Every structure is written in structure tokens, then in C-alpha cells.
């Protein structure tokens, strides 16, 4: 299963390390609300890139997301 996911990451033109970091950031925030910006700050990439990676992970059925662009605290 891991090899299949890794293969899809490379086929999708994504950086495996960034995929892992985005997933790690999301997992540390569950069950709290989170935003693309909060994940971007954790990983050190733009919120636009985070959004692209999350959409990619949703397409792979790895996550289901209700993440917003802005924090609503």
C-alpha cells in the first residue's frame, strides 16, 4: 500500500517529503479547526501549495477535508 501511495505521489508530480509534512501537520491539529495558512506555516510552504497538496490527497482518497483558507477563531 505504501509503495502504491509513493508511486501516485511521484506520478502526480508532488514532493514526497512535502506530502508527509502536510499530513503530519494535519494530524497534529486534529480534531481542532485548521486552515491552509496554519498548515503552510508549519511546513514552510505557501497556502496555495498546501491547498494543491490537500486537493491531491483528497483525489487519492487519503483525506477528507473541510479546511478553510483563513482561520475563523
pLDDT in tens, 22-67: 999 999 988 887 889 999 999 999 999 999 999 999 988 888 766 5
Q: Is the dihedral of CA 10, 34, 68, 66 positive or negative?
A: positive
What pLDDT, on the 0 to 100 scale, is given for residue 21? Answer: 95
Return all residues near 46 (Cβ < 8 A) that are at least 6 apart: 40
Residue ranges of domains in the chain: 1-71
Looking at residue 33, what DSSP letter applies? -
Q: How far apart are CA 5 and CA 60, in angstroms?
A: 8
Cβ atoms 70, 35 nearer than 8 A:
yes
Residue 11 pLDDT class (50, 70, 90 cuts): very high
Amino acid at each position: 500500500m505504501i509503495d502504491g501511495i509513493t508511486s501516485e505521489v511521484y506520478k502526480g508530480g508532488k514532493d514526497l517529503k512535502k506530502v508527509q509534512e502536510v499530513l503530519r501537520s494535519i494530524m497534529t491539529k486534529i480534531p481542532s479547526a485548521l486552515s491552509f495558512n496554519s498548515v503552510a506555516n508549519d511546513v514552510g510552504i505557501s497556502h496555495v501549495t498546501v491547498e494543491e497538496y490537500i486537493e491531491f490527497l483528497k483525489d487519492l482518497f487519503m483525506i477528507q477535508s473541510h479546511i478553510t483558507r483563513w482561520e475563523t477563531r
